[in-house]
Amino acid sequence: MEIQKITEGQKGYFVALDGATEAGRMYITNAGDDKIIIDHTEVNDAFRGQQVGKRILDEVVRFARENGIRIIPLCPFARSVFDKTEEIRDVLF
């Protein structure tokens, strides 16, 4: 599965692709130069139960670490993963 970052002005998303099929998306909004908000996560029904959302979040966390960005997880899914996973909390705002 490949995960790509798509930027559309101050907003964008990370998309998980399984070949040509979109498995899921995590929408983000820039909040200044050093913060992003995770707004919403969607997973294609055909990929439910395959950790697609977690894979996308892992990529967002990697991106944040590499770029000195903090994350504000407003999305309930992303918030729940941060609550359960201590080792990714270093990027929380």
For residue 8, the one-letter residue type is E
pLDDT band at residue 4 using 50, 70 and 90 as cut-offs: very high
Q: List C-alpha distances in Å: 27 to 86, 87.
A: 22, 22
Confidence of residue 53 (pLDDT cuts 50, 70, 90): very high
Rounded to an integer, the average pLDDT of 51-67 is 98
The model's pTM is 0.95
Q: Topology of 2-91 in CATH?
A: Aminopeptidase (3.40.630)
pLDDT tens by residue, 7-29: 999 999 999 999 999 999 999 99
Are 49 and 71 contacting, i.e. CB atoms less than 8 angstroms apart?
no
